[in-house]
Structure 1
């Protein structure tokens, strides 16, 4: 079978969230610019630069698109990673997020692949990694 030649370009990452306000507060604290008017709306988009967007949809939006949708169980299905300028920034941002009440997945450590690395979980358990070249 011949491959169809269509130019597809990834331009967004979508996350379904159970608590929009808590999720937006988490990503704002990480430094993602989320529009101020994105209070109680069911769909929010944040421009990540470079032509990429991070999209947040409420569970109601997911069900409106697929009435049989149910939240996944077990977690670990999607992971996001945020590059920071230096190892000290990884430690500082991780500490700030944990002090604000967010869950740490991994405390900062010097990874054998040459990065300072740590992990958090957003309010729905999505893994959010922080890293910087060491």
Structure 2
């Protein structure tokens, strides 16, 4: 069997705040079950995003939240270059930290925004991934 990435799990500090952010980004997240502090969204690619509160500290006594920077980015293709601009503008206007304004990088047209837990969300144009892309 070929190894597959099936899920990205984010330990979050405030589940409701994270749900608001990812819904604003465009994910159709369900409301959490009051008995389970988590939500999951399966994307068309087959990869799921799981937001949960309390799992890491409950099962890993050495776990501490990251501080002083970030070690990963979650990349979301949002559409054409104009969609990168409008998504970035919408999230920043809603109060989320804009880490990098939309710009042409050495790769795709991209922008970076922090989610409520400081995870860096890379917003990119899917034009770079198409065979006709820039």
Same-fold status (TM-score > 0.5) = yes
Aligned to 1:23: 18
Aligned to 1:108: 102
CA contact 1:33–1:47 (8 Å) conserved in 2: no
Aligned to 1:76: 70
1:128 aligns with 2:121: yes
Structure 1 residue aligned with 2:48, among 35, 38, 53?
A: 53
Structure 2 residue aligned with 1:12, among 7, 25, 31?
A: 7
Runs ≥4 in structure 1, deviation > 2 angstroms?
none
TM-score by length of 2: 0.85
Q: Structure 2 unaligned runs (5+)?
A: 128-133
Q: Distance in 2 between matches of 1:51 and 1:83?
A: 15
Q: Distance in 2 between matches of 1:64 and 1:95?
A: 37
Relative to total residues, which structure has the larger strand share, 1 or 2? 1
- How far is the alpha carbon of 1:39 from its aligned partner? 6.5
Q: Structure 1 unaligned runs (5+)?
A: 1-5
TM-score by length of 1: 0.85
Q: Distance in 1 between matches of 2:93 and 2:123?
A: 16
Structure 1 residue aligned with 2:89, among 88, 95, 103?
A: 95
Structure ID, larger Rg: 1
- How far is the alpha carbon of 1:63 from its aligned partner? 1.4
